Amino acid sequence: METTDTLIDSWLKKHESKIKEFKYTLHLISKSPLSMIGAFIIACFLLIAVFAPFLAPHDPYYQEMSARLEAPSFQHPLGTDDMGRDILSRIIYGSRISVLIGIIVVSIGAAIGIIVGAVSGYIGGAGDNILMRIADMFLSFPPLILAMAIAAALGPNLRNTIIAIALVRWPVYARLVRSQVLSIKNSQFIEAIRSMGGSDIRILFIHILPNCLSPIIVRATMDLGTVILAAAGLSFIGFGAQPPLPEWGAMVSDGRQYIVSEWWVAAFPGLAILFVVVGFNILGDGLRDVLDPRLRR
Amino acid sequence: MDKLIEVKNLKKYFVKEKGLINKERTVIKAVNDLSFFIKKGETFGVVGESGCGKSTLARTLMLLLEPDGGEIIFADKNINKFSKNEIKELRKNMAIVFQDPHSSLSPRRTIKKLLEEPFRIHDIDIENKILKQRILELLDIVGLKKEHLYRYPHEFSGGQKQRIGIARAIALNPDFLLLDEPTSALDVSVQAQILNLLQDLQKKLDLTMLFITHDLGVIEYIADRIAVMYMGKIIELGTVDQIFSNPLHPYTEALLSAIPEPDPEQEDIKIKLEGEIPSMINLPEGCSFSSRCPLADEKCLRTEVELEEKESGHYSACIK
Amino acid sequence: MEKENNLDENEILLEVKNLKTSFFTYEGEVKALEDVSFVVNKGETLGLVGETGSGKSVTALSIMKLIPDPPGKILSGEINFNGENLIKKTEKEMQDIRGNQISMIFQDPMNSLNPVFDVGTQIKQVIKKHQRKSSRMAKKIALEMFKKVGLPDPEHIMGKYPHELSGGMQQRVMIATALSCHPQLLIADEPTTALDVTIQAQILKLIKNLRDEMSSSMLLITHDLGVVARVCDRVAVMYAGNIVEYAPVKKLFKNPSHPYTEGLLKAIPRRESRGEKLKIIKGKVPNLITPPSGCRFHPRCEYKMDVCSSTIPPRKYIDENHYVKCHLQF
């Protein structure tokens, strides 16, 4: 008992500063209503995705042909679609697909972008020019068109959607990281490390990149929304998730022929997309304020 | 006395190019043909106003900038011919403390990590326990406490941060410590603490120091010999007594008269130097001080001036 | 010499009484000013010296009522300027006073000039706003001011942008702007700290001459005791939100009575003290969220007594013009 107490004690002492900083961050977040709302929406979204099997009242794939296009009722709170599937259950399961796409795309995009941006900003000169012109090339295509082309070339399915969107997103991170690296690389603490003989790799990965983290986090949060929207868009036009997957964009697409009479088929998945995208955006905005070093002491 | 560092005709130029088609080249001679030496165990001071090239000198000496000419000789070895590995080895032996303690420490690293850095960089084979012991020892030497180990730089005051910077600089027991305006960002009382600490360290660790500052009071207190810089050149060099009691160059004289002494009984503010510090871009052909010098005449504008020994160990670059 | 004898005969221009200002932050209430009182007479220069965090700039901003609120707040006290309490003034009334009757010069001239306008436009704007002059008149006054502060070729400089001027020239422009409306009080917050020694000497001389010529009063904020000695008539030494000593300048340097003042003067490195250690004030400036009880200086004081940690020291007048906030007997 005593030993665990002292262990905890020494742990607390060791991490006192981190805990203080964390508490301060929480305090800032709690003071910004915007990020609270965003965080709430996103938390709900993530919980729904994780606990989908327990939350969904029906099997999202079960077709009840006798109950096609039913209006919202007790049995089906958000109605049923043209195959008689429960829309609420499909939206709940669809959240898993969206989370997956969002996280995978952003991780890939950020990983490529961070490496390219960091190297580009750090080495400068011709290498920097080449890398940035490649990034410019990707940026100069309208993102959805490029994703469509890639999806069309590789075949329409979820995996290719992910690859396609990731290819479009990485230059955003590359530019962001590059500008951060450029501003940090000439600061005095980097000069100090260099004067001690620190290698370039050490300087870049231990000293520069950790200091670029806040803007990357903000960007990634906002990007999750953008990516989910892009994936839904691709699915909507038929390049992304294929039926019968309960992908939100595909669901909206399914319901659009009934939009006049049976509005719920398209409206509820559409609302789901709206909430999640707005949620990520305002969370990102809020985080930007909270993580802004100028606002912190 | 042995020389630890000798600098011969050191040059560092910055070239700016303007315009796309008709390239206009402007050359700023930030360090313009400097020669001096630093004896083992002494404190060598470099004074000058902003833009005189003293920080460029510091960075060139620390091999953070590549010199455009001249030689740097450290402990009888010519650094210019060193390989990459030899330079890394050399860096164990020379350390720098920067002016701004707020920006010279990585903001997201704890003090422990910051002080471990030199050991990690040089792959020094040392057990974690012993390393920690050594770091605690370093903290103790600079007057910080054990509980500071896991804090981040922003939790410290300016003076404390400068102590951390000093602890890091002396971590590997260097022979040479370069101090680039180490107290300029600090308050007087904190400055006094840091100056005392530096003097203690010098005695304890047998350090040779190069102390760069614009503050004449500080340099007068701490340095053994002083070089006065103006427009990228050393215009006067000598011992403290020589420089302060018998300044030979009119610029040194003007500089000394401009210090506001903390003594209200003294006569009114004397101004020996009118005008602004000229730009480094279009230096006059002759003496670079001639545009502000009260003694300047035709001859000064044309004749190139060199440091000359006017009395034993006292050099001045003035033809008057 | 004359001035010193005249000190008490002079009319009072600014009287600050028991000023208390705090900042309410996440960590708690930062008690930036505990109890600040001083007087600036007409035509006189008061130096406010202290180290980082002593509250000198907060004092200046409080007088100008420019404390950012939130988090800052003037909790109590009086600031009587020409007999009127500025604390009771509305923001609109203050706008008329700022720049007109009280103007301010800041430490960093580059940051206090607007980079997108030429300096001529900026000084003319101030003149037009406060003196309701026509453009032509404003230009004439501006040129005159530029000449007065020693800017070469004023006509030419009027069209320059801030970044085209050196630090010393920028500070001259700032001084010209600040003095263009003949303020009764000039607050100079570290006006020469960002400048080189030789330029600093020029600017100090200029400020001194102009003040005498225009018979303005001045509140000079600085950390440099050398500057104080050169320019000021009286000095207020600040420490952790209090004025610990307030005296005519010669008396303060000859006979520093508060242990902190004494420590500050001894901490200045000089050649006479070569080889020996500088006398230091041990410890560091206290955290003003939880300031030390009693005298805020007591944890660092070498003459500490029991009473120091329990009771806030009263102002003890050594003579009419010289007070010390300390429990020691003088």
Instruction: Provide, as residue numbers in chain A, all residues whose Cβ is less than 8 Å from the Cβ of B96.
Output: 192, 195
> Which of B200, B201, B221 has the highest number of chain C CBs within 10 A, making it the mutation to test binding with C?
B221
Q: In angstroms, what separates the C-alpha of B291 from chain A's closest C-alpha?
A: 34
Q: Can you tell me whether residue C13 is helix, strand or coil?
A: strand
Comparing alpha-carbon positions, the chain B residue that sits nearest to C287 is B157
Q: What CATH number is given to the structural domain containing A110?
A: 1.10.3720.10
B89 is a domain residue: yes
Pick from C169, C204, C229: CB nearest B262: C229
- Looking at residue B298, its amino acid is E
Beta-strand runs (E) in B19-68: 24-39, 43-47
> Which of A19, A196, A203 has the highest number of chain B CBs within 10 A, making it the mutation to test binding with B?
A196
Which percentage of chain B shows pLDDT scores above 90? 36
A166 is a domain residue: yes
pLDDT tens digits, A124-138: 889 999 999 999 988
Q: Name which of B158-162, C12-16, C55-59, C213-217 the model is least confident about.
A: C213-217
Q: In angstroms, what separates the C-alpha of C129 from chain B's closest C-alpha?
A: 32
Is residue B28 within 8 Å of residue B18, measured between CB atoms? Answer: no
Query: Do A211 and B110 lie within an 8 Å CB cutoff?
Result: no
Q: Which residues contact C161 (CB under 8 A, 6 or more apart)?
A: C115, C116, C117, C118, C119
Q: Name which of B11-25, B140-154, B225-239, C234-248 the model is least confident about.
A: B11-25
- Indicate if B189 and B51 belong to the same structural domain: yes
Pick from C200, C269, C270: CB nearest B258: C200
Phi-psi region of C55 (alpha: psi -120 to 50; beta: other; left: phi over 0): left
* C250 pLDDT more than 70: yes
pLDDT tens digits, B176-205: 999 998 988 888 888 999 999 999 999 999
- Indicate if B163 and B306 belong to the same structural domain: no
Report the Cα–Cα distance between both ends of chain A, in Å, rounded: 39
How many Cβ atoms are within 10 Å of A141's Cβ, its own excluded? 13
- Indicate if B172 and B217 belong to the same structural domain: yes
Q: In whole angstroms, give the CA distance from residue B273 to residue C191.
A: 19
Instruction: Provide, as residue numbers in chain C, all residues whose Cβ is less than 8 Å from the Cβ of B158.
Output: 52
Q: Kindly calculate the radius of gyration of chain B based on its CA atoms and give it in whole angstroms.
A: 21
- Indicate if B57 and B206 belong to the same structural domain: yes
Q: What CATH number is given to the structural domain containing B164?
A: 3.40.50.300
Residue B282's pLDDT is: 66
Instruction: Provide, as residue numbers in chain A, all residues whose Cβ is less than 8 Å from the Cβ of B147.
Output: 13
Q: In whole angstroms, give the CA distance from residue B311 to residue A169.
A: 70
Q: In whole angstroms, give the CA distance from residue A288 to residue A274.
A: 21
Instruction: Provide, as residue numbers in chain C, all residues whose Cβ is less than 8 Å from the Cβ of B160.
Output: 284
Alpha-carbon distance values, C5 to C213, C246, C248 (Å): 20, 16, 10
Is residue C78 within 8 Å of residue C17, measured between CB atoms? Answer: yes
Residue C255 DSSP symbol: S
The secondary structure of C258-320 as a DSSP string is SHHHHHHHHHS--GGGTTSPPP---S-PPPSSSPPSSSTTGGG-TT--GGGGTSPPPEEEEET
Query: Do B277 and C199 lie within an 8 Å CB cutoff?
Result: yes
Total tally of structural domains belonging to chain A: 1
Pick from B117, B147, B155: CB nearest A193: B117
Comparing alpha-carbon positions, the chain B residue that sits nearest to C53 is B187
The residue extents of the domains of chain C are 2-101+185-325, 111-182
Residue A95's pLDDT is: 93
Pick from B92, B95, B104: CB nearest A188: B104
Is the torsion defined by CA of A136, A140, A144, A148 positive or negative? negative
Higher-pLDDT residue of A132, A12: A132
Residue C6's pLDDT is: 45
pLDDT tens digits, A92-149: 999 999 999 999 999 999 999 999 999 999 998 899 999 999 999 888 877 778 778 8
Phi/psi of residue B74, nearest 5 degrees: -115, 120
Phi/psi of residue B21, nearest 5 degrees: -95, -60
Query: Do B193 and C270 lie within an 8 Å CB cutoff?
Result: no
Query: Do B91 and A13 lie within an 8 Å CB cutoff?
Result: no
Number of CB pairs, chain A paired with chain B, less than 8 A apart: 64
Q: In whole angstroms, give the CA distance from residue B254 to residue B251.
A: 5
Q: In whole angstroms, give the CA distance from residue C131 to residue A136.
A: 54
Average of per-residue pLDDT values in chain B? 86
Is residue C286 within 8 Å of residue C239, measured between CB atoms? Answer: no
Alpha-carbon distance values, B126 to A165, A266, B58, B116 (Å): 48, 66, 31, 11
Pick from C201, C253, C274: CB nearest B264: C253
B290 is a domain residue: yes
- Residues in A whose CB is inside 8 Å of some CB of B read 13-17, 21, 187-189, 191-199, 202, 207, 210-211, 297
Instruction: Provide, as residue numbers in chain C, all residues whose Cβ is less than 8 Å from the Cβ of B240.
Output: 271, 274
The secondary structure of C191-240 as a DSSP string is TTTTS-HHHHHHHHHHHHHHHHHHT-EEEEEES-HHHHHHH-SEEEEEET
Token pair for A187: 């600061």
Helix H or strand E segment including C105:
strand C102-105
Q: In whole angstroms, give the CA distance from residue C316 to residue C304.
A: 17
Instruction: Provide, as residue numbers in chain A, all residues whose Cβ is less than 8 Å from the Cβ of B88.
Output: 197
Q: In whole angstroms, give the CA distance from residue B144 to residue B146.
A: 7
Comparing alpha-carbon positions, the chain A residue that sits nearest to B107 is A211
Q: In whole angstroms, give the CA distance from residue B121 to residue B113.
A: 12
Total tally of structural domains belonging to chain B: 2
Pick from C264, C273, C277: CB nearest B188: C264
B74 is a domain residue: no
C196–chain B Cβ distance below 8 A for any pair: yes
Q: Enumerate residues 202 to 241 of chain B having a beta carbon within 8 A of any beta carbon in chain C.
A: 214, 216-218, 220-222, 240
Pick from B103, B105, B121: CB nearest A197: B121
B118–chain A Cβ distance below 8 A for any pair: yes
H-state helical runs in chain A:
2-14, 16-31, 33-50, 52-55, 87-123, 125-140, 143-154, 158-185, 188-196, 200-202, 213-236, 248-255, 264-291
Q: Are strands C28-41 and C12-25 parallel, antiparallel or unpaired?
A: antiparallel
B165 is a domain residue: yes
pLDDT tens digits, A203-227: 999 899 988 888 899 999 999 999 9
pLDDT tens digits, C77-121: 889 888 888 888 888 888 888 888 888 888 887 788 888 888 888
Q: Name which of A46-55, B64-73, C277-286, C288-297 the model is least confident about.
A: C277-286
- Indicate if B184 and B46 belong to the same structural domain: yes
Residue A193 exposed, middle or buried by CB count within 10 Å (0-12, 13-18, 19+) = buried
Is residue B209 within 8 Å of residue B177, measured between CB atoms? Answer: yes
Instruction: Provide, as residue numbers in chain B, all residues whose Cβ is less than 8 Å from the Cβ of A215.
Output: none
Pick from B264, B266, B269: CB nearest C204: B269
Comparing alpha-carbon positions, the chain A residue that sits nearest to B92 is A196
All partners of chain A with 3 or more CB pairs under 8 angstroms = B
Q: In whole angstroms, give the CA distance from residue A281 to residue A283.
A: 5
* Residue B237 CA to its chain's centroid (Å): 14
Instruction: Provide, as residue numbers in chain B, all residues whose Cβ is less than 8 Å from the Cβ of C268.
Output: 188, 192, 217, 262
Q: In angstroms, what separates the C-alpha of A295 from chain B's closest C-alpha?
A: 14
Is the torsion defined by CA of B289, B291, B292, B293 positive or negative? positive
> Which of B188, B215, B229, B279 has the highest number of chain C CBs within 10 A, making it the mutation to test binding with C?
B188
* A295 pLDDT more than 60: no
User: Whole domain around residue A214: which residue ranges?
Assistant: 32-58+83-291
B195 is a domain residue: yes
- Indicate if B211 and B312 belong to the same structural domain: no
Residue C280's pLDDT is: 81
Task: Indicate the pTM of the whole model.
Answer: 0.85
Which percentage of chain A shows pLDDT scores above 90? 39
* B45 pLDDT more than 70: yes
Pick from B59, B121, B151: CB nearest A202: B121
B273 is a domain residue: yes
Query: Do A17 and B122 lie within an 8 Å CB cutoff?
Result: no
Residue B26's pLDDT is: 79
Pick from A13, A195, A297: CB nearest B62: A195
Three-point CA angle A168, A171, A173, nearest 5°: 115
All partners of chain C with 3 or more CB pairs under 8 angstroms = B
Q: Which residues contact C66 (CB under 8 A, 6 or more apart)?
A: C98
pLDDT tens digits, C171-197: 888 888 888 888 889 998 888 887 788
Q: In whole angstroms, give the CA distance from residue C149 to residue A196.
A: 47
Higher-pLDDT residue of A180, A140: A180
Q: Can you tell me whether residue B19 is helix, strand or coil?
A: coil
Q: In whole angstroms, give the CA distance from residue B301 to residue B278.
A: 15
* A184 pLDDT more than 60: yes
Instruction: Provide, as residue numbers in chain B, all residues whose Cβ is less than 8 Å from the Cβ of A207.
Output: 106, 109
Q: In whole angstroms, give the CA distance from residue B157 to residue B159.
A: 6
Q: In whole angstroms, give the CA distance from residue B251 to residue B239.
A: 17
- Indicate if B204 and B272 belong to the same structural domain: no
- Indicate if B271 and B205 belong to the same structural domain: no
Average of per-residue pLDDT values in chain C? 85
Residue A294's pLDDT is: 57
How many Cβ atoms are within 10 Å of C308's Cβ, its own excluded? 22
> Which of these three, B204, B223, B242, is where a domain ends?
B223
C-alpha atoms less than 13 angstroms from C-alpha of C119 in its C-beta half-sphere: 32
Which percentage of chain B shows pLDDT scores above 70? 94
B164 is a domain residue: yes
Give the residue among B93, B294, B84 at the shortest CA–CA distance from B177.
Answer: B93
A172 is a domain residue: yes
Pick from A13, A16, A196: CB nearest B121: A196
Q: Enumerate residues 4 to 23 of chain C having a beta carbon within 8 A of any beta carbon in chain B.
A: none
> Which of these three, B205, B223, B241, is where a domain ends?
B223
Give the full edge-to-edge strand order of the sheet including B233-239.
Answer: B94-97, B176-180, B208-213, B43-47, B225-230, B233-239, B314-316, B308-311
Average pLDDT for B21-35: 81
A11 is a domain residue: no
Number of CB pairs, chain B paired with chain C, less than 8 A apart: 124
Average pLDDT for C272-301: 83
**pLDDT category of residue A178 using cuts at 50, 70 and 90:** very high
pLDDT tens digits, A235-286: 888 888 887 889 999 899 888 888 888 888 889 999 999 999 999 999 998 8
C305–chain B Cβ distance below 8 A for any pair: no
Token pair for C6: 């005249």
User: Whole domain around residue B270: which residue ranges?
Assistant: 251-320
Q: In angstroms, what separates the C-alpha of B107 from chain A's closest C-alpha?
A: 8
B254–chain C Cβ distance below 8 A for any pair: yes
Pick from B91, B106, B155: CB nearest A195: B91
C197–chain B Cβ distance below 8 A for any pair: yes
Q: Which residues contact C319 (CB under 8 A, 6 or more apart)?
A: none
Match 């906030």 to its residue by tokens: C325
* C330 pLDDT more than 80: no
Domain C2-101+185-325, classified CATH 3.40.50.300, yes or no: yes
C182–chain B Cβ distance below 8 A for any pair: no
